[in-house]
Structure 1
Amino acid sequence: MADRTDPSAPQALELADIQGAMLRKRPGPYVGSYLLLRVGTPSDGRRLLARLLPHVASAARWWDPPGGAWLGIALSHSGLRALGVRQESLDSFPAEFIAGMAARAARIGDTGESGPEHWDAPLGSPDVHLVVAAFAADRAACDSLVETVREALRDLPAVQLLHRLEAAQLPNGRTHLGFVDNIGKPNIEGTGAPRDDRAGAAGPGHYGDPPGAGPAVKAGEFVLGYPDQDGVLATQPLPDALRRNGTYVAFRKLHVRVAEFRRYLKENASSTAEEELLAAKMVGRWRSGAPLVLAPSQDDPVLAADAARHNDFSYREQDPEGRRCPVGSHIRRMNPRDSPEVSVDVLRHCILRRSTTYGPELPEGQLTDDGAARGIVFLFMGTDIRRQFEFVKRQWANDGNFAGLETEQDPLTGNREGARTFTVPLPARARRRQYEQLPRFVVTKGGEYLFLPGIRALHWIAGLDR
């Protein structure tokens, strides 16, 4: 159920009540830990929340968190139950969140070797009740915050730390595949976000609409308690204390097959330059971050380093046929922007994305897998799991019909079940090249649907405001 309001009315967000991880990027460089916990009794779980609440960073003064490190808390549906939330509240949550990611894995393409039966424990099990994220600019500060969490667990025997997943920015500041990431993000009305949010912990920076972010998106698409693009104000979950300044999170642990990616480039190119071009075509950007729409034939590191330009482009105006940036490339699928081939309202399917790397780098030039666990932890955030995250995964990443690509999938993240081709239009009209037999470069190793409450809602769950 929902109420409808005037969608043109301005929205001012309660930043001090919103967990910082929702609206602000993590610090850069960063070191982090994801702590997965199981709650055995409501009383111990609530006591833990009460102890951790003073350390939770809000979206206000994001550059100055408690203790110089950033703490965020999210809960699964089974976690809300374990903390003693009443049944009427539990039943009021969306069906997707109640079911959990493992139960809906086939819908989002987590099948075969990415299926829940192959996930790293305890992800996908009913035992993951709380996910606590600790991030800082260096390992010492992060470990200090993790130790604070461990101290909060003392004399709470019913709360068990199941797993600690370490994350850290790679020395080159890029992903395991060598790409600069986290460039584009939605322009959310009322957030007061700096143009270059990479300043992060350094201070508030210069505020305004980030160039290339497109039209402002109503806050209700990402934060509960505010009108969405259609002027709709959600009336669930219940009670009102839960339905303000929170959001839903698709937590994803993805293993990246770096050696496989490198081998495919080498086997399908005749030179290093061709390898780099093929990699850029698959992603939609050069590894530096320079977009193909603006730098179609060779990398432009100066453009990539310019935060006022590296995301400021239009598919409809500058590349309507996808001859610079292929229609099937990763970034054009994840955010089609104004692509003429897309008929749906893109803003209704936007998601906030946060990513962190885990595991060691594969040495430069190595073409054989060393067996190490390495990849990306993605956090996809929005107020409607089905319409946002699941739609993007199902329709845009794993299906090509939306763009006239038939059974093609995302060349980077597709599960390759029945679709292993990637088409690259060539500059001359009516010509194209098809790359066949794409391997699976990314394998899902676990995931959870989580609720990231507002800070007052965390107080309510902890029993401090009831």
Structure 2
Amino acid sequence: MAFDFIKRIFNPEKVEIALSDIQSLILRSRPIPYYGTVALIEIREASAGKALIKAMLPLISSAENWHLDLSASVFISFTYKGLQALGLPENSLASFPESFKQGMVARSSYLYDIGDNDPKNWERAFLRGNIHITAAIIANTEEEWLQKLKEFKEAFGGNSNIHLIESLDFGATEEMKNVFGFRDGISNPEIEGSGIDNPPGYDKPIKTGEFILGYPGESGIIKQFPQPEILGKNGSFLIFRKYQSQVAEFNKFIKDNSNTAEEGELLAAKLVGRWRSGAPLVLAPEKDDIDLGTNAQRNNNFSYKDDQLGKKCPFGAHARRMNPRNSKSFILEDERLHRIIRRAVSFGDIVPPEETRDDGKERGQFFIGISADAMGTLEFLQKQWANNGNSVNLGDEKDPMIGVQRNGLFTCPGNPLVKRYHNLQTFNIVKGGEYCFIPSISALKWISELS
């Protein structure tokens, strides 16, 4: 189990941040397996919103014991409009970044949300401007999830000035597969000061301030954060994006471009950068290795420095684009400044590789990303690494899994010839999203007591 590994590398002497004041989502990995619910909430009256926060405070877990396999937890975050609806002081509202104030719809051009991902095609719930809170319950057993969900609903207290816009359940088995059938959520950056010891195969921990507000980042500088200090420090920013996954179309592309099931599995792995088990291509270039894929101490212990021609893992593979791991870059950039904590969760059933006809069911992923500069990080990742190939010398070629495609191209270096695959579709379509602020525990209390 992944948590057994984490327990062995936690060192309390290396804790340098206020874990008891930080919401657990920022540091705690998803349980294995997991069950949960995401909720979008509108605040129709400020006092009702503050009462809801006060009622939810006992349910919200801190990161104090993030390294342990804990019971069900709840997290809560707010959009800029949500903070306005709560009646935060004007000087506090003014201290938030402009991109956060504008919101994800207004920032669509910076996110390359065009074509299939254009906000005009989003679900109506994300276009009305009344999502004020994004919250989620997550647990490692169905019983704990249902109990925590019951407590979460009770916190609403029947107040008509709190409106549940939408809720959707999610989950994954012990195999941790997404709806494409690939093991998910394997690689995340470690945060310096959290108590983490640097385990073999993991990157050097990244400075606290890149993920949690009020601490020095990689430059040694504490970046500006929302004021007063009780509001901003120990908080972070969150990206919430709902994706509808086009799995049948993905399967059809694989089938149309391969002659055997084995050849198809290799092509699918080339697009993703890992096999379905989670085994990285650079360590298992010819066939899947289930033992490697499920081994938390080995499946992250690699870089691309010995695959500079991309013959094992193509330059354009999704995993390589999103975490270059010492790949040669054709433009100047520091990959450590573009890492993001991913807490994505899947909803809907897994589609088997042989199914090539869309059944019309809702399935996909809630992408939850966390960073002290979540807006800037996502906008860089979307526009530069996902939808522009310059950093890997691929021109306009897009990320095969999250890029916005229009008769897309995927280049696969080989021995001795390069192979190019044509007519990729957008396999994960954005259906909505929000930029959110994750307050600390003390900030939530402060907000709930505002007069």
Question: What is the TM-score when the length of structure 1 is the normalising length?
Answer: 0.90
* CA deviation profile, 1:112-159 (whole Å, cap 9, x unmatched): 232212222312432100111111122332222222122111242211
Quick check: 1:350 aligned with 2:354? no
Give the aligned partner of residue 218 of structure 1. 207
Equivalent residue number for residue 330 of structure 1: 318
Q: Where does residue 11 of structure 2 map in the other structure?
A: none
CA contact (8 A) 2:103 2:435 kept: yes
Q: Is the 8 A contact 2:180 2:351 kept in 1?
A: no
Aligned-pair distance for 1:51?
0.7
Aligned counterpart, 1:19 = 23
Percent of aligned positions that are identical: 40
Contact 1:69 1:145 (C-alpha < 8 Å) held by counterparts: yes
How many residues matched? 436
Quote the Cα distance in structure 2 between the aligned partners of 1:320 and 1:360.
37
Trace 1:146-225 onto structure 2 (pairs within 5 A). Answer: 146-170=149-173, 172-193=175-196, 208-225=197-214
Q: Is the 8 A contact 1:328 1:422 kept in 2?
A: yes
Structure 2 alignment gaps of length 5 or more: 1-13
AA aligned to 1:159 is: I
Letter in 2 for 1:156: N
1:111 aligns with 2:99: no
Query: What whole-Å deviation, never above 9, does each CA across 1:204-242 have from its counterpart, x for those lacking one?
Result: xxxx22433322210100000110000110232111112
How far off its partner does 1:298 sit?
1.4
| CA deviation map 1:22-54 (0-9, x unaligned) | 111121111100111100111110011001001
**Counterpart Cα distance in 2 of 1:297 and 1:155:** 57
Aligned to 1:32: 36
**Equivalent residue for 1:412, pick from 396, 401, 416:** 401
Structure 1 residue 309, shift from structure 2 partner = 1.3
- In structure 2, the partner of 1:4 is none
Q: Does 1:274 align with 2:263?
A: yes
The answer to whether the 8 A contact 2:314-2:413 is kept is yes
In structure 1, what is the Cα distance between the partners aligned to 2:200 and 2:430?
A: 32
TM-score computed with the length of structure 2 as normaliser: 0.93
Deviation at 1:384, TM superposition (A): 1.1
The counterpart of 1:456, out of the listed 418, 442, 445, is 442
Give the AA of the match of 1:147. K
C-alpha displacement of 1:100: 0.6
DSSP-derived class of the 2:402 partner: coil
Per-residue CA deviation, residues 157-195 of structure 1 (Å, 9 max, x unaligned), is: 2111111011111575301111111111112111224xx
CA contact (8 A) 1:31 1:139 kept: yes
Worse-matched range after superposition: 293-302 or 56-65: 56-65
Deviation string, structure 1 residues 265-293 (Cα, Å, up to 9, x no partner): 01000101100110111111111111111
Amino acid at match of 1:177: F
C-alpha distance in structure 1 between counterparts of 2:90 and 2:146, whole Å: 37
* Shift of residue 306, structure 1, vs aligned partner: 2.0
RMSD: 1.7
Q: CA deviation at 1:382?
A: 0.5
Letter paired with 1:449? Y
Which whole-Å CA distance do the structure 1 matches of 2:267 and 2:432 have between them? 29
Name the amino acid aligned to 2:74.
Answer: L
Separation in structure 2 between the aligned mates of residue 276 and residue 425 of structure 1, nearest angstrom:
17
Give 1:64 deviation, angstroms.
Answer: 6.7
CA distance in 1, matches of 2:95, 2:190: 29
Q: What secondary structure does 1:458 align onto?
A: helix
Displacement of 1:304 after TM fit?
1.5
Deviations 1:340-397 (A, max 9, x none): 2253111111111111111123356221111000001111110113431110111000
| Cα 1:64/1:336, change in 2 over 3 Å | closer
